[in-house]
Structures are given as C-alpha cells and as structure tokens.
Chain A
Amino acid sequence: MTKAKTLGLVIALVAFVGGWQLGQNSDSTPQITSSIGGASYSGGGDADRINTALPERTAIGETITVNPGDSIQAAVEAAQPGDTIQVMPGIYSETVYIDKDDIHLVGVIKAGERATLDGLGKLNDAILYSGNNILIANFKITRYKGNGIMSQAGNNFEIRNNIIIDTGIYGIFPQLGVNGVIEHNIVSGIADAAIYVGMSDNIHVAHNEVFDSVAGIEIENSRHAIVENNYTHNNSGGILAFITPGLPIKTTFDVIIRNNFILDNNIVNFAAPGSTVAGIPSGTGILVMAADDVIIEGNIIVNHKVAGILINDHGNAPGLTLDPDVDPNADRVMILDNVMHNNGYDTIDEVRAFALTELHTGDIDIFQIGPSQDSCIINRHRYHHVGLGDFAECDFTNTDSTHSYLLADGAKPRVIESAERGEIAYMGICAGCHAYDDVLIGPSTRDIQAMYAGNAEGIVSYINAPFKVRPEYPEMPAQNYLDAETQLAVAEYLLDMDLGPVQP
C-alpha cells in the first residue's frame, strides 16, 4: 500500500520533469500500455500455487454414509474430527449444524442426481457450521429462508460444487473465517448476495456461476480476497467490494477481482428494504464502496445500464449509518485491462448529473465519485469514464505474481502448552470453589494435593463423575464438559502447584 503511494509520487515527478500530460480524459495521444508481460502487482499475496484451504486431516477418520430417510445431523453428531460424511442422493429436509472440527460433509452425485437439502420454504438454514477445517461439497440446496451454507468463525474451509437455488438471504455465507475456498458452485435466486464473504480474511472465490440474485458476489469488511474466473450474470449488481459502516471489523483491503465474466446484471433489485444491498443500482457490473487496494483486472464487463464499474465513498451512499471508526473513501483502486462494452447506456439520475459536470454524456464504463487517493488505471482511453481525473497511470499491468491469498499452512489454532491449559482451567473454573488453603465451598487445594498426590488420573476420573466424599461439603458438579486434554492438564496443574507454607 505504501508502495503504491510512493509510485504515485514517482509518476507525478516524472510527469513534471518530462512535461507530459498524464491521465487526461482527452483526445490527445493516449498513453498506451501493453499488458502482455510487464510488471506484476507487488502488493502481497503468495506466488506459490496454493489451491486448497484444507489442511491435512487431523485424524484418520471413518466414512459415515447417510441414506435417504436417515438424518444427516445424526451423522454429524456421531462423527469425530477426521471423519467424512457421505450423503447419498435423495431428499433431506433438515438444518445441519456442525459445531466440531475437521468434518467433511460430501454429497454423492449419481448420474446427476444429488443429495438434496430441501427446506420446503419453512426451514431457516441448510448448513451452519462453526468448526474449523470443514468441507461442504456436491449438494443441491433449495427452498430455505436464511442461508444455504453459513459459517460463523470457521477457519480453513472449502465450499465446492454445490448447486444452491432460492435459499433466502444468502446462498453461501462464510463469516468471521480465515482461509477459505468457495469454488465451482452454482447459486441463484438469492434475496441479498449469492456468495457473501463477510468480515473474513484470506478467501478465494473462483469458478462460480451466480445469477438471478440481488448481488452476485460480495466481499464485505474482509481482507485478502481474490474473486476470479466467476460467471456472474442477471443480478442487480455483479461483484461488490464493500465496507459497510457499523460492523465491528472496519476495513476491506487487498481484493483482486480478475478474469470474471460479468454480464447483463440489470434485474430489478428485490432486496429487503433497509438492507445494504437495497442501495445497489440495478445495472452495475462491479461496485467498489469505501474498500481500499482493490484491483480490477481482466474481466469481461458487458451490458450494464448504470455502469460497468462504479466506485464510490460512503459520502455518496445515502442511507448508511455513521461510523467514525471507518475510513469512508475507496483509496488505491487499481484498474488494469478489462474488456468493457455497452455499459451505462441507461444510467441513474445521480450518475448522469455528475457526469454532466464533466460534460460527459452517453455510455459509462467506469464511474468514480468521492475522494480516492493513490488510485490508478491503465489504458483509460479505451473506456467511457467519469471521475477518473485523479487516477494516475498504474506502473504494473497484471497480478500474475499473486496466485492466491490462501495461507500455505492454513490458519493455525493457538498453541497452548499443557501447563497453561491447566492454569486457565484451574483459575477460570476450579478457583471459584477451591481456595489454596481455606475452605471456600469445596475442600482446599492443599487437601486435594495430599489426597491425590501423583494421581492426576484419579482427579480426572473424580471430576468426570463426582460423588459425595465428605458429609460437610456439598457434592461437586461434574466437570465432564471439559475435554480430556483439559481435564488432565488441570489435574496435573493442580497437583504441581507450589502452595508454599500453610498460610496462617
């Protein structure tokens, strides 16, 4: 980002020394830049070809098969991390929720017949998950009211090869996740965004077809995302990179939108009143609002009545709430070569009025309004454009050196040493009833040490199924909700504690 700023300065300096006129929207000799070869964007990301977000299985698991008439959720409840759940073709009407890690939920497709989740227009969500290392693949999902597939804070996920039709607000909605792939899905008939990446990091959205929805693909309050090789058509807006104010995570940056087919996104906006996407002008190819470091490259953007690419700040988006913690401007937007044709042919009044201030009439491929620092474009002469006066020439022509923003080894869980785990559990739970020397509610820690010296397993077995030992104390509630690792860690921690001399 800093680099882009520096480059802007360098270009300005060269312009001054050389005395040529840069970036003007005029009929004078345009600056023609060849994007065959040339410098590649150096704004981060990994050139290694990382194609998966799923780390190796954490355990050698089993395959559980679900047949029509069975419950998928029952299989999830029986599954252990490392297991794969195979769902045979047939109709399943349920909400599946996965609150555990490393589960692969895979539909089996036989001669085109899929495992189909059918919400019957009554159920809220088809698949919800909060675990890490989750794969959801090969389903058909239809007639839900909330989401097709939603995650809350699941890291290292892949959502592949699903057909999602009319599932309410979102088709695919990972939220608050790190490192995920959304590929080869076909999503349609969605009242908000067909694919909505919310408050997430390191996401790859590729090879999806999205249509008949209000928004095709939306990257909102997220960082390090690539949206490439998708086919988005017949939505109200094709691809969006947003900052929505009022959310707890305040930024969107490092988003590459490249090599997508973005065609005919002109359907009537049917979003719920008050929703953020209700403000998308029907007929927008790409919409960048307040997001920073967005690169738009190699897309085919054709037939949009408002504009091919629309870039704006929050100041020009009425109806948004106030958020003093958000930078409202779309800075460092970088537009490389795109194929644009027949855009802005029937635009909205606000766009038309602003275009007139630049004496622009007729088609609009690119429309930019509001402050935008250090933004750039190449070959601007190819397009009908408005508001690019402050855009410099980009000093790179492609993003080839950024293969993906996925993390090479996945998002890692916190590494907790056993002693730290024991301390956390002892302080957070046990200390409520057990003091070191005093009798609080249960016996003192010193007494427990004496009773169980060298026998951590004995403590583990007691806290799993406590029984009344001494008549003068209440019976302890079971601590069986702690996992085995934490139970042993806390037992060892308790026995290893140096309590010093008995306090008076």
Chain B
Amino acid sequence: MALLLPTIFPTNLIKQVCRLLLASTLAYCSATAADNSLTESQPTSTAATIALSSNCPPSFMLSDNNQCQLRNLYQLYNSLGDHGIGGLKTALPAHRDGFSPQQIDLGRLLFFDPLLSADKSVSCASCHNPGQGFSDGLGRSIGIHGQRGTRSAPSLWNSAFIKDFFWDARAQSLEQQALSPLFSPQEMGNNPSQLLSSLQAVAAYPKLFKQAFPDSSDLSLNQIATALAAFQSSLISLNSRYDQYAHGYAEALNQQEIEGLNIFRSFVARCSQCHMPPLFTNQQIAVIGTPEPEGMPRDIGAEKTFGSVKLKGGFKVPSLRNIAETAPYMHSGRFETLREVAAFYSGGRGHAVPEGEDLLLHWHISEPNLTAYELDRLVDFMGTLSDSSLLPRTPKSVPSGLHILSEQKISEKIISNKSISENNHDKS
C-alpha cells in the first residue's frame, strides 16, 4: 500500500491553535510554539519552485488512485438508516472526500489568495478566517469596498458533512457554494472572465492547476470550484473533549459539562432535537424567531429558497462544533455570547417576534424556563465541542504575491475572540 506523508499541519499557526486549546494542553503548546525549527516545507513564492503537496491532510488517507479518503473514529459506528444522526456512538452523515492531495492544496492557495476578488482586496479567508473558527467575528460580514452584508460568515469546519449550503440552504454542493461569493457584488465582486484571466496572468497558477487537474487542458471555473470544495472538505474537527466522552472516556468532561450535556439533550431545553449529535445539526430548516440587529429588517431566509411563506425567517440549523470560536451568533450576529443565545431559547416562544409579524415558529421553540444555572451549564457544554487540532496551514505567501491576511491580524482576532469566551466564563 502506498502510504504518503500527511504534512499539511500548520506549524506556523501553532501559536494560534494553542491559544484556542484548553489549559490542560498549554504546556504542550508552549513547547511546540517555541520550536523555531518547524517551518513550512512548501515554497510557494516563485513559479519555478512551486509544487503542490502530494500528501493528504491529517485525517485523510491516500488511496492508490491518489484520492484522499477521510478516516475518523465515528466510522466505528452505525447510524439509523445511515442518516448520521443519533447519540454518542453514532456514525456521521455521508461526507465528501476523494479529492486529490494536489486539489486540496491548490484549494488552500486559492482560499487565501485575494486575487479571487474583483479588486484583489478580499480572499475567502477574509471572512472565513482559520484563526476564528473559519468565521470573522463580525456578525455581518464585510465584502469588497467595505460593504457590510446581512448575514454572518458560517464556519467551514466539517463542511464535508453538510448537504445544503448558505444560511438559506440555496446551494446543494460545496462546488455550487464555492463560486457564489466570488461573483456576488456584495462579497468578492468578481466575474467569471476576470477571474479566469487574472489567474491565467499569474505564471504559477496554470501550472498549479495542471498539477491538480492533469487530465484537463484549460484552467476553468469548474476546476476553481473543485479545488475550493476539496480544501473545504478537508477541514475536519472531530477530536474535541466531547468526542472523547462520546467514544467512552467519561473523565473527558467535568461534572458541570456533563450536567450541560444532560440539559442539552433533555426534552426541556431540546437543544439536541435540532443540533443532533454527532455533527450537532440535523441539517433542516428551522424558523426560530431570532431578532435581527437593531435597525435591520427581517431577513426572510429560506422563504426565498423554497418559495413558501411557511419558511419565512427560516435558516439552516448550524453545526455547533467549534461554536465557542465563532461569536457573535445567529444568522446576522445578533447575540454576542453563547450565554445570550441560550437565554434566547429560554425566553419563551416568539418573545422576540415583533407584534403583528406572522412567523410559523418551529415546534421545538417552547417555554423551557431554564434556570440561570442551567444556561451556564449549556455554555460549559458547548465549549467542549471545540477542536482546532487539524487546523490547516496558512500559506506564507500565495502565487499572486498579494498580501494575505497577516498572522498579526489573525491573532488579534483570536485574542478578541478569547476575551469574549472569557467573558462568558465570568458570567458562569
């Protein structure tokens, strides 16, 4: 069997990862971060020396036909009807994999390259910042020309398991999703012909595309979509402390976190009825009546996608994995902390829906009347779903030579994120 090296671990991001990790692993982290001998092994600065990785990212195994196949501990289990929902030892939903290491690595370079936007100012990573749970901490993301959108950047962790994309579920594949922000005037503002010509104008890109797509002659939009989908499908976060508990190690969670788990799955709070393990989403649309930020009109959400007023204000149930890293919360970032989110669900059915507005609220939106203590435990439990141990490496440079999101900027955002979670902790 041809086994190759998985080497996409981000040694230059270890400091950042470690900031996200929990106290128990800090000694491990500080030692790692101090090791300056760990540097990125793939040169990406000049066309002559660029080679895409021939190794799969961690958690993927290279097959004989050069495909990266996902391996994770949940493959030890079944799920009812192979739906990938259930309890602790339940298999995950069907996933995307089978991309080549070269496609994944090309996707990584494209993901960080601002060349993909109309004015070369914004990359995918601008809003899906690896240092911030692949979100941006803004609530409503900012696209080119400083335009503020109406929805928050969803985390990309575990995209491989997601079947519908965007908050309103309007795309049904990673490839379909990938191109949309590139051509949205509010996001990256590009158009197909400019995108293709600007990639072709950078000497390295046609060669890199040839490495990733050896059977095709021309660089195409489909290849861009495939590469971005390949990279997104490689973002695996399944080694959290919750996962250790799920696999049978009771000591992985402390007493308060276990209390939180029991509140989470109880039928009083009903969190797990939509945020179903092991992905912590049931991948359905739910109308929950969450308020928009001050002054913003109601976002009709999935009503538009499905053409039914029954789904007015409905959005996809997001996965809660790494949720502690992606404040603020809800589709437009109305809530700053997980504590506020938990309190929203306990605030009574429709309490935040303006009088006279007609929403067909989800049947699980009820009146759980959780105590302050219980809300705090829910926040504790959600914190156990964090795992950035397989964070991909941010390239030191991208083929276009454009400036990428600097490490400093990433770490500033991490620090502000961290202070939010510390605030959470203080309240609890």
Contacts and interface: CB of A to CB of B under 8 A. Distances in A.
Interface stretch (B56-64, B133-141, B182-190, B225-233): B56-64
Contact of B283 (A248, A435, A474): A248
Interface in A411-469: 411, 413-414, 416, 421, 423-429, 431-433, 435-441
A36 B267 CA distance: 45
B262 A481 contact: no
A432 B7 contact: no
A356 interface: no
A153 B3 contact: no
Given A153-B87, A200-B80, A438-B5, A125 B262 contact: yes
Contacts of B38: 439-441
A390 interface: no
Contacts of B277: 152
Given A274-B362, A439-B37, A472-B37, 14 more contacts: A125-B267, A150-B265, A150-B266, A152-B265, A152-B272, A153-B89, A247-B284, A274-B365, A424-B73, A435-B7, A441-B38, A475-B28, A477-B28, A481-B248
B87 A427 contact: no
Interface stretch (B115-123, B209-217, B305-313, B322-330): B305-313
A99 B250 contact: yes
A238 interface: no
A193 to B, nearest CB: 11
A355 interface: no
B14 interface: yes
B5 A503 contact: yes
Interface in A127-172: 128, 130, 145-147, 150-154, 168-170
B247 A483 contact: yes
Contact of A248 (B4, B83, B360): B83
B359 to A, nearest CB: 11
B81 interface: yes
Given A321-B311, A441-B32, A201 B80 contact: yes
Given A153-B86, A423-B71, A431-B58, A414 B78 contact: yes
A427 B58 contact: yes
B310 A322 contact: yes
A411 B86 CA distance: 15
Interface string B1-28: 1111111010100100000000011011
Nearest to B29: A474
B375 to A, nearest CB: 13
A103 interface: no
Interface in A6-55: none
A273 interface: yes
Contacts of A498: 1, 3
Contacts of A173: 267
A435 B31 contact: no
Contacts of B361: 274
A221 to B, nearest CB: 10
B80 A178 contact: yes
A408 interface: no
B387 to A, nearest CB: 10
Contacts of A416: 76
B247 A272 contact: no
* Chain B binding surface, main DSSP class: loop
Contact of B306 (A324, A440, A474): A324
A439 B244 CA distance: 26
A199 interface: yes
Interface of B: 1-7, 9, 11, 14, 24-25, 27-32, 35, 37-38, 41, 55, 58-61, 71-73, 75-81, 83, 85-91, 238-239, 244-245, 247-252, 258, 262-263, 265-269, 272, 276-277, 282-287, 306, 308, 310-311, 314, 349, 360-363, 365-367, 389-390
A482 B247 contact: yes
Contact of A145 (B2, B35, B60, B268): B268
Central interface residue in A249, A321, A421, A475, by most chain B CB within 10 Å: A321
B267 A146 contact: yes
A432 B363 contact: no
Contacts of B3: 436, 497-500
B7 A438 contact: yes
Given A276-B363, A439-B38, A128 B311 contact: no
A70 interface: no
A147 B389 contact: no
Nearest to B4: A436
Nearest to B239: A429
B88 A153 contact: yes
A389 interface: no
16 contacts: A124-B262, A124-B268, A125-B266, A200-B80, A247-B284, A274-B366, A321-B311, A432-B59, A438-B41, A441-B9, A441-B11, A441-B32, A473-B35, A474-B35, A483-B247, A498-B3
Given A153-B88, A474-B31, A319 B360 contact: yes
A402 interface: no
Interface of A: 77, 95, 97, 99-100, 124-125, 128, 130, 145-147, 150-154, 168-170, 173, 176-178, 199-201, 244, 246-249, 272-276, 319, 321-322, 324, 411, 413-414, 416, 421, 423-429, 431-433, 435-441, 472-477, 480-483, 486, 497-500, 503
Contacts of A414: 76-78, 91
A72 to B, nearest CB: 14
B41 A480 contact: no
Contacts of A425: 73
A330 B293 CA distance: 42
A141 B308 CA distance: 43
A128 B262 contact: yes
B71 A99 contact: no
B80 A476 contact: no
A312 B268 CA distance: 29
A150 B366 CA distance: 19
A483 B248 contact: yes
A193 B28 CA distance: 51
A249 B80 contact: yes
Contact of A153 (B37, B79, B286, B306): B79
B61 A124 contact: no
Given A275-B363, A428-B59, A429-B239, A128 B266 contact: yes
A152 B28 contact: no
A321 B310 contact: yes
B177 to A, nearest CB: 19
A224 to B, nearest CB: 11
Given A128-B262, A153-B90, A321 B287 contact: yes
B266 A146 contact: yes
Central interface residue in B89, B306, B363, by most chain A CB within 10 Å: B363
Contacts of A500: 2-3
A219 B71 CA distance: 35
A77 to B, nearest CB: 7
A248 B310 contact: no
B366 A275 contact: yes
Given A249-B81, A274-B363, A435 B6 contact: yes
B31 A432 contact: no
B86 A176 contact: yes
Given A152-B86, A424-B75, A432-B389, A248 B7 contact: no
A416 B282 CA distance: 26
Given A99-B250, A152-B86, A248-B276, A424 B285 contact: no
Contacts of A436: 3-6
B248 A100 contact: yes
Contact of A427 (B4, B71, B90): B71
Contacts of A176: 79-80, 85-87, 90
Contact of B286 (A100, A246, A437): A246
B299 to A, nearest CB: 18
A248 B265 contact: no
